[in-house]
Structure 1
Amino acid sequence: MTAADLILMADRIHTLLPGPQPTAIAVADGVITAVGDRADVRDWRGPGTELIELGAATITPGLVDGHAHPVMGLSMTRGVDLSQVRTRDELKKTLRAAAGPAGEWLEGFGLDPNAFEGAPVTHAPLVEALGPDVPVFLVLFDAHSALVSPRALEIAGITGPREFASGASVVCDPAGRPTGHLLELEAAMVVHEMLPADDPCDRRARLRDLMNRMAASGLTSANAMDFGLDSLELFRDLEADGDLPLTWRCAPFVMPGDGLEQCVEQQRLSGRRWRVEGAKFMIDGTIDGGTAWLDEPDTHGESTACFWPDPAEYAAAAGHLAGHGIPIVTHAIGDAGIRYVLDTLAGLPRPRVPHRVEHLETMPSELVARFAELDVTASMQPTHCTHYTRADHTDNWSRRLGKKRADRAFRARDLRDQGARLALGSDWPIASFDPRGIMAAARLRRPAGAPEVEPILPDQALTARMALEGYTTQAAAAAGRTDVGRIAPGFRADLSAFALDPLTAGPDEFAESAVPLTVVDGTVAHRS
């Protein structure tokens, strides 16, 4: 056997395969070459071998975030963090404190519509806090809508309703005057394009820092659900300076009206630790914004339409790309949207990498069973449920749906029990990327570290093993990979180490577990 480059030792190693539990792993050229006991180490080592003894720690296969927006997230997290704002008064106070010199743009992100306390989402509190002359651009927490001030509307030339190729819209009052609420990306971008540009060096530094922090949380890989803006330049520039701290699979957006050949050409792009593989669609928007696609309208009479003005154009575009062997990834939140996507995927060729559906917020039981039948990956983000909805249905999301539909939501356990492949993730920057807290939330059905919060639909809780599988074996299957997601000779050496055992520690405790080591392609990407 070739001498190992790296040997890891720990009291517990979860291989996620049948058989005895080893305490040592040998790695050479980025591949696991042997697993065994500490006594075997003397047979594996050579003069250049690095030995790392982790003691009472637990090693697992490397964790994979199923859904993140690393580059879009840089643009969506500029300015003041509003994620902790809970009332209109808090919003006004926070904006006043963050305001700069006269005429300067004020940006913010993470604003929860529940902060409007049941009132419509309009620019009224912005005007009350800052007056009418400050240009303000705030990204709401779902990143599918923005709230802007009258001055921002004026700068962008928005004076009334507009038509867009997608289901985006400028919300207006009965007199046709814009309220400041911009629904979906196309509408928000009209104002976003007026904002001061980011410094490219700053964007590179922020993206490198983001990846370092992700690796420090135990992530070894992630799925980027976009590949636009300056993604190509950023990934190439960062990799020119050294290996990325984790690997990325990127799926470019396909929007209504887009040409498809660019997406086909992008599939050829790759680097040492990133590649383009997939096409990201949206069939609807969000329940909070009234842009989801539901079988029946929400309690505001909204969420009745597809994001694509003609749904058949989505089906045709997905079919064209699937015909090129490209896996189709579709954001689908409402029951009507999920049904249409599954009906579409049922008639498409099945590529090596399975098609997948993202989010899956509310759906009846007959749709749950179809994921396993069609071999379609279900990709979910547990903290969307635990951080933005409430068990008593007093939140905006639940009020819009009504009890019946809110009670058949975020059905992670039902999907697993029906045999579906379930990948877990964060949707960063919509929620924290930290997999420890996400796995805890998947088990608790409430935020980690908040035992006073009533669990939301606790029957949908995952077991500890299911939660770990959602980041490892299920994530590997979702990517069509047979060389990652487990620990055995011949598998890629993507490994995560935790001070606490994710299978036996309490979920609240595991959410705070230290991460002593993260290994990507056999190289230490993080060491505490």
Structure 2
Amino acid sequence: MTPDLIILADTVHTLDDRPHHEPIQAVAVSGGVVAAVGSRSDAQSWRQAGTRVVDLGTATLTPGLVDCHIHPVFGLDLTVGVDLSGAGTLEEVRALLRTEAANDGEWLRGWGLNPNAFGTTPMHRHALDDVSGGKPALVRLFDGHSALANSRALDRAGVHGPEEFDQASEVVCDGDGTPTGLLLEAAAMELVQRHMPQESFAERKARLAGLLRDFARSGLTGGHIMDHSEESTALLQALEADGELPLRLRTAPWCMPGSGEAQWKDMARSIGTGGRRWSIEAIKLFVDGTVDNGTAWLYEPDTLGQSTAAFWPRPEDYTAAVRYFASRGIPTATHAIGDAGVHHVLNALESLAETVPADVLRRTVHRIEHIESVPDQLVERFKDAGVVASMQPTHCTHYSLADHSDNWSTRLGPERADRAWRCRDLRDAGVTLGIGSDWPIAPYEPLPIIADSQLRRRSGHPEQQPIAPAQALTALQALEGYTSHAAKAAGLWDVSGSITVGKRADFTAFEMDPLTTAPDEFAASSVLGTFVDGEIQFMLERLG
């Protein structure tokens, strides 16, 4: 063995479930894969002329963190204008927008708006009209599935009443048929968005490059991107042509209502294409929307009488799409938030045994994304169906409250709100649980997310009451959600997810041990470095 790199650290968590007779404190890398693990004394015998040694001292080394649900390219559109995510009241929202309106720009734009800021006041275009300085305005809500437009933006787009769509989208209107400004789901928002000025390719490339560097600094070595477009291909190709991407990216184009086998065939052909560190590897589908805007799919209506319809007007067409891809060994990931939505996806995936060969089913991973409120019987079905759960703990800790006074809980009512984000129940049932952020819906920094999944409240806020505390993960389970379970959620456990000889040399180095440090303290600590293919992607200056 002639290693290219040796990494030393006082604590190494391999997560490979293999017995080690002494603590692992050294990892050798050769050709981008792990060549050996052992003690510091072992490392002395591995070292050859030309071997680089990185001694992290008292740091902790783990397999590289992978965010199981992000939208970096799609997020470029969702994060234009003023960040409203910190605004807790309508007056704070309006003050931020008024300041933003004074800046140059034809449109007033904002993002990250939390509907809880409106309290009991219905969202209406009038809230934007008198703070927009005469400009057309569009503000994206935090869920990414809805937006609020002002009167001038609706006029600019020619939106003067209800519209019909191929998918469950809506231009919300008053009783007299006049739009309120609230636009639900992508097709409705696109009516206004198509009239807005667009960034240049160079501007978007620069923003994406900066975002991916920030991902690496946060500790991420990989991400499962839950969208893909022709622009995504062009941007990722351009970034790789300028130099390596700082993390591995697996993308999944959207299969939407109204599509058929001709479109599905084109999508299937794209699977496996990409570059050195990015590739198209799955298909993303939606079966419902969100609880907060009344477009989730629930067994029973929410307290406003909404959230009773599937995203696909004919849910059987969704099932047909899943069968098409699954029969070709193509993984699927389905957005399903409400209990009826999750139920339908499980039915569809369980039905695959009737039409898909057993060997194809065994090697293909199918996932359900989000899973915000489900009853016991659905939790139990995940394991038998072999379905992966992909969840975002900070959706719970950032946007709901223990006393159920938030918009999400109020809409669901106490019984369904008590079933919030059942991470622990799914793990205890033996289900693979990948963890992610859903950026830009919630912050991408993984350390606070790992902490929140244990605390069931926002890290750094000990005054907050935990939300459904019985659903707290252990420190190990939380770390696994970003490492070993993230690899299994991508069908990559044979090549990644643990520090094991022969697997990819992707690592994250921490100032604090994620398994022994109190969650609040861990969330506030530093990431010291990341490695992909045994190459340093980020290293804190004091260690460089």
- Shorter-normalised TM-score: what interval? over 0.9
Which residue in the other structure is 1:215 paired with?
216
Deviation at 1:102, TM superposition (A): 8.6
Matched, 1:328 2:313: no
**1:502 match: secondary structure:** coil
Aligned 1:313-352 pairs, distance under 5 A: 313-348=317-352, 349=356, 350=361, 352=363
CA distance in 2 between counterparts of 1:479 and 1:94 reads: 40
Task: Indicate which of 260, 266, 275 corresponds to 2:270.
Answer: 266
Is contact 2:101–2:131 with CA below 8 Å preserved after alignment? no
- TM alignment of 1:146-157, pairs within 5 A: 146-157=147-158
CA distance in 2, matches of 1:250, 1:303: 29
Matched ranges for 1:15-26 at <5 A: 15-16=14-15, 17-20=17-20, 21-26=23-28
* 1:425 aligned residue (433, 436, 451): 436
User: Would you identify which runs of 4 or more consecutive aligned residues in structure 1 move more than 4 Å?
Assistant: none
SS at match of 2:302: coil
Give the counterpart letter for 2:500 in structure 1.
Answer: A
* Counterpart amino acid of residue 480 in structure 1: G
Residues 353 and 510 (structure 1 numbering): CA distance in 2 closer, same or farther, change over 3 Å?
Answer: farther
Unaligned runs of 5+ in 2: none
CA apart distance, 1:246: 0.2
Hey, what does 1:206 align to over in structure 2?
207
Partner residue of 2:79? 77
Match of 2:59 among 57, 60, 82: 57
Greater alpha carbon shift after TM alignment, 315-324 vs 14-23: 14-23
Deviation of residue 130 (structure 1)?
3.1
Task: Decide whether the 8 Å contact of 1:91 with 1:125 is kept in 2.
Answer: no
Greater shift, 508-517 or 244-253, is seen at 508-517
Contact 2:388 2:433 in 1 (8 A): yes
User: In the alignment, which residue of structure 1 is the partner of 2:166?
Assistant: 165
Q: Is 1:400 matched with 2:402?
A: no
Contact preservation (8 Å) 1:102, 1:134: no
1:492 aligns with 2:504: yes
Q: Deviations over 1:53-92 (max 9, x none)?
A: 0010000011110000010001110010010111111111
Contact 2:326–2:364 (CA under 8 A) maintained in structure 1: no
Q: Which residue identity is paired with 1:517?
A: G
Provide the rounded CA distance (Å) in 1 between the counterparts of 2:195 and 2:270: 28
Corresponding residue for residue 359 of structure 1: 370
- Specify the code of the residue in structure 2 equivalent to 1:282: F
The 8 Å contact of residues 368 and 387 in structure 2, kept in 1 or not, is answered as: yes
Alpha carbons of structure 1 residues 304 and 23: separation in structure 2 relative to 1, 3 Å: same
User: Deviations 1:67-122 (Å, cap 9, x if unpaired)?
Assistant: 00010001110010010111111111111111146982011100001111111111
Correspondence for 2:9: 10
- The 1-side partners of 2:245 and 2:90 are apart by 41
Secondary structure at the aligned position of 2:389 is classed as strand
Aligned-partner Cα distance in 2 for 1:139–1:122: 13
Q: Distance in 1 between matches of 2:286 and 2:517?
A: 37
Q: CA deviation at 1:262?
A: 2.0
2:123 alignment partner in structure 1: 121
Match of 1:290 among 273, 288, 294: 294
Alignment of 1:93-132 (within 5 A): 93-100=95-102, 104-130=106-132
Identity %: 52
- Whether the aligned pair in 2 keeps the contact of 1:472 and 1:485 (CA below 8 Å) is yes
Q: TM-score, normalised by structure 1?
A: 0.98
Distance 2:331 2:495 in 1: 19
**Counterpart for residue 379 of structure 1:** 390
- In structure 1, what is the Cα distance between the partners aligned to 2:272 and 2:365? 18
Moved more, 408-417 or 475-484: 475-484
Cα deviation 1:127-166 (Å, max 9, x = unaligned) = 23236x4200111000000111111111111010001110
Deviations 1:181-231 (A, max 9, x none): 000011101111111111211111111111111111111110000002510
Equivalent of 1:89 in 88, 91, 103: 91
CA distance in 2, matches of 1:375, 1:103: 50
Q: Given that residues 108 and 132 in structure 2 are in contact (C-alpha distance below 8 angstroms), is that contact kept between their aligned partners in structure 1?
A: no
The secondary structure found in structure 2 opposite 1:491 is coil
Q: Give the aligned partner of residue 410 of structure 1.
A: 421
Once residues 148 and 266 of structure 2 are traced to their aligned partners in structure 1, the CA distance between those partners, rounded to angstroms, is 32
Task: From 31, 34, 48, give the equivalent of 2:33.
Answer: 31
Paired position in structure 2 for 1:370: 381
Letter of the aligned partner of 1:336 in structure 2?
Answer: A
Q: CA-to-partner distance for each residue in 1:386-412, whole Å, 9 max, x for gaps?
A: 000000000000000000000012000
Q: CA deviation at 1:351?
A: 5.5
Q: What code does the residue aligned with 2:159 have?
A: I
Which residue identity is paired with 1:370?
R
Q: Give the Cα–Cα distance (whole angstroms) in 2 for the partners of residues 379 and 61 of structure 1.
A: 19
Give the match for residue 447 of structure 1: 458
- Which residue of 2 is the match for residue 512 of structure 1? 524
* 1:269 shift after superposition: 1.5
SS at match of 1:442: helix
One-letter identity of the residue aligned with 1:106? L
The CA distance in 2 between the partners of 1:519 and 1:406, in whole Å, is 40
User: Judging changes above 3 Å, is the alpha-carbon distance between structure 1 residues 74 and 25 closer, same or farther for their aligned structure 2 residues?
Assistant: same
Where 2:404 maps in the other structure, the secondary structure is coil
- Whether the 8 Å CA contact 1:72–1:229 is kept in 2: the answer is no
Residue identity in the other structure for 1:6? L
Counterparts of residues 238-277 of structure 1 (less than 5 Å): 238-258=239-259, 259-277=263-281
The one-letter amino acid paired with 1:470 is G
TM-score by length of 2: 0.95
Offset of residue 42 of structure 1: 2.3
Query: Which residue of 2 is the match for residue 389 of structure 1?
Result: 400
Letter in 1 for 2:467: I
Residues 345-354 or 400-409, more deviating: 345-354
CA contact (8 A) 2:126 2:151 kept: no
What is residue 181 of structure 1 aligned with on the other side? 182
CA distance in 2, matches of 1:409, 1:42: 50
**CA displacement 1:214-266 (0-9 Å, x = unmatched):** 11111111000000251000000000011100001111001111221221121
Aligned equivalents of 1:472, 1:495: Cα separation in 2: 10
Instruction: Measure the CA separation in 1 of the matches of 2:299 and 2:192.
Output: 32
- Which range moves more in the overlay, 165-174 or 92-101? 92-101
Q: Is the 8 A contact 1:69 1:224 kept in 2?
A: yes
